[in-house]
Structure 1
Amino acid sequence: MSDPGGSLDIQLTPSSGGLVCTIASTRPVAAASAFVGRSPHETAARLPLLFSICARAQAGACAGAFEQASGWVASPIIRGRREAAIAAETIREHLWRILLDWPAILGEPPCRDDMAAVLALSNRILARLDPDGDLFGVGANSAADHPLGLDVLLTDLTDLLTHRVLGVSPEHFLNLIGDPSGFERWCRKTETVAARLLRSLLESGEASLGQAPISALPRLSDEDLIARMSAPDWAEFVAHPTWQGQPRETSPFTRVHPLPLIEAYGPGLLVRLSAQLTVVATGLRLLSRCCAGSASAQPTLASGNGVGLGRVFAARGLLAHLVRVEDGRVRDYRILAPTEWNFHPRGVVARALEALPPGPEEQVRRQAELLITAIDPCVAFKLTCKSAT
């Protein structure tokens, strides 16, 4: 099955008032309608193959939606194990950017060996968490109390993050996020790719670029989200979502919201890139806690009326699945992904890019690519930009 991810076409055009950003998407936001007529179990098995990016987050939202629709409440062990698997996937997704894409911004080759080590470790962790491949099955109810050998793997992952990514322990890095002066010392003295990229922003005066006045997506109730995704204009909503008439942001930045750094540098480029590192460090903490078999969140109330909403915080933001089941078959399946919030035509990416200062085309392109990387689409994008005249 081919991945239906689509792509984004982002254009920056100079005008008398500054840069104007246009974002067009070919993402097939109604692709989940392919599951209409299938059983919940068949859909849960096939969906991660169709949506291969963040497949476990997709599987988690899928299982949660079907379980709510059927009245099933997963056990704390299952919920904890699922959260751990999604946390491991989220760490891997961010490290893919940090180790392979961030070096190119510095004009350096990608850290392929380090990324190969991350992939090997994450695959082994996920295999321990889901040895039978049924963790995200609808109504899953079997799991050992504690996966054998997982503690050693988590220690190895912690060591890799400490020595190859952060230059300090993940816990120490999280302390630095609350201490802007300590964080700046870390940027200036640490020699990992991540620290050197952030240091380059401080030295070039680009740390605060791309500040955008877009509010974070608030915590929405199941009832509100189900109602909005069920409205007659649902297709337009999932393609270009707004809340209370305004574009919203759901991203690593809104997930960790590092207030001390925001106060020091503003909600711009440096803080957004730092948020990806922060999600990696907090993801390791979550992974360690969830591997003990306890879920961090309370279960969603199971309606059992054939309508279910499943949601998880995937690597790039909130992911929501809505299902309707009748007579044991899917009648509707709708997905609302974080890319549609963040890359809304008037959303955070568009506003951040329009906040860039005018300049030579090469400079505008480099800064725009930095911002897009910091907010991070889950699909390929094409950037077209021209210099101001």
Structure 2
Amino acid sequence: MNGITLQRRHGQVSVHWPRLAAEQLFVGRTPAEAIALAPQLFSLCGHAQQLAATLALAAASGQPAAANPQALAAVRLEAIRETLRRWLLDWAPACGQPCDASAIAVLARASTLQDYRQLAAYSIFGTEPAIWCQYGLAGWQQWAAAGDNAAARALQQLLAAAPEAPPALHMLGNTAALAAEPHWLAGHYPSWRSQPVETGALARYQPLLQAWLDTCHVSAARLLARWLALAAWLGEAEAGSDSCTLAGSGLALVDTARGPLLHLATLGSDGHISHYRVLPPTLWHSHPQGCMAQAAANGTAAQIQRRLLLIDPCVSFTLAGIDNEEPPHA
């Protein structure tokens, strides 16, 4: 997929994502061929993409669609690994913390849930994830202020950062709820009730983090939400998945590190795929008036870079016209 370009001129932000709809390669193929092809087309979150394709195509054909435990376990480990990778390689440096080469080497060798638990306890939580989750919002704020490890110091830096306007958030329901109000599918960029929304971990944990959102600590809340999701996956939570039919098509939802991944599939009378659409979380977030555009509406290039890294689009992004733009006058 091509990268996203954000440009700011005179305080107005444009978002351009010339997304190559690779899923169009599914059209004309059999469901089995598309399911085998999915992880090759989408190297990022390949297990989630393959599961979503499996569920959507089963629903489209009128067959029972249920994820098997092995597929769900693979999606769960994939989400855990991606979250740890993003923390070690991108979020930590963006928040002024050095890259931890030893932790990165451990991540490269990790393969089991226990491997990831140990790495997360060392590189983020400073204790068992389940214990850390019990701190609560005031406890996490105290943990950040103490600054005992890089993760705590990163969170504290975000709490001290310039305020950001809170984005519109919406936790997507199950596929039946989505099918009941299919207006979100109307445009190139999905939206909820005509409003661009953020659908990832921050939307899921909004009630818990509302106090930080009310005080405009948006990036701090966003990072904390990702860690809460990570802790849940490292505990007892499984990756969520769901499917249903929508106007004769199959709709599937699979949770990923970045948020809900949606696949919509239609079969022709010959049993081959006649229409296919993939809606990754980034497609919600890159809406022309969405959270990425909002993050770039003010601030320096460095501030915007960090905000966007924490939104975590699934493709690269470029900032244009921001370094040289004159800051707004009072």
* TM-score, scaled to structure 1: 0.75
* CA distance in structure 2 between the aligned counterparts of 1:302 and 1:193, rounded to whole angstroms: 46
Pick which of 46-55 and 180-189 moved more.
Answer: 180-189
**Unmatched tracts of structure 2, length 5 or more:** none
* CA distance in structure 1 between the aligned counterparts of 2:175 and 2:86, rounded to whole angstroms: 32
SS in 2 for 1:168: coil
In structure 2, which of residues 32, 35, 38 is the aligned counterpart of residue 44 of structure 1?
35
Aligned residues: percent identity?
A: 31
Instruction: Note if 1:245 corresponds to 2:194.
Output: yes
Q: Which AA in structure 2 matches 1:282? A: A
Report Cα offsets for 1:126-164 as digits up to 9, x if no partner.
xxxxxxxxxxxxxxxxxxxxxxxxxxx333322221122
* CA distance in structure 1 between the aligned counterparts of 2:18 and 2:260, rounded to whole angstroms: 20
- Asked if the contact 2:92/2:98 (under 8 Å) is kept, the reply is yes
SS in 2 for 1:94: helix
Q: In structure 2, what is the equivalent of residue 281 of structure 1?
A: 231
Q: Which AA in structure 2 matches 1:89? A: E
Q: In structure 2, what is the equivalent of residue 263 of structure 1?
A: 211
CA drift at 1:378: 0.6
CA 1:346 to 1:220, structure 2 compared with 1: closer, same or farther past 3 Å? farther
Q: In structure 2, what is the equivalent of residue 139 of structure 1?
A: none
**Unmatched tracts of structure 1, length 5 or more:** 125-152, 358-363
* CA distance in structure 2 between the aligned counterparts of 1:302 and 1:173, rounded to whole angstroms: 40
- Asked if the contact 2:166/2:216 (under 8 Å) is kept, the reply is no
CA drift at 1:376: 0.8
CA drift at 1:347: 0.7
CA drift at 1:229: 8.3
CA 1:296 to 1:31, structure 2 compared with 1: closer, same or farther past 3 Å? closer
Q: In structure 1, what is the equivalent of residue 12 of structure 2?
A: 20
Q: Which AA in structure 2 matches 1:313? A: D
Q: Give 1:1-389 correspondences, 5 Å limit.
A: 5-13=1-9, 15=10, 19-28=11-20, 30-74=21-65, 78-121=67-110, 124=111, 153-176=112-135, 178=136, 180-202=137-159, 205-206=160-161, 209-219=163-173, 221-222=175-176, 224-225=178-179, 228=182, 237=187, 239-257=188-206, 259-264=207-212, 265-266=215-216, 268-286=218-236, 290=238, 300=243, 307-326=249-268, 327-354=270-297, 356=298, 364-384=300-320, 385=322, 386-388=325-327
Q: Which AA in structure 1 matches 2:190? A: P
Give me the CA root mean square deviation. Answer: 2.7
Q: In structure 2, what is the equivalent of residue 134 of structure 1?
A: none
SS in 2 for 1:244: coil
CA 1:213 to 1:165, structure 2 compared with 1: closer, same or farther past 3 Å? closer
SS in 2 for 1:334: strand
Report Cα offsets for 1:81-106 as digits up to 9, x if no partner.
32222121111111111101123224
* CA distance in structure 1 between the aligned counterparts of 2:118 and 2:171, rounded to whole angstroms: 34
**Structure 1 runs of 4+ off > 6 angstroms?**
none
* CA distance in structure 2 between the aligned counterparts of 1:251 and 1:57, rounded to whole angstroms: 15
CA 1:115 to 1:320, structure 2 compared with 1: closer, same or farther past 3 Å? same
- Asked if the contact 1:162/1:170 (under 8 Å) is kept, the reply is yes
Q: In structure 2, what is the equivalent of residue 140 of structure 1?
A: none
* CA distance in structure 2 between the aligned counterparts of 1:35 and 1:195, rounded to whole angstroms: 44
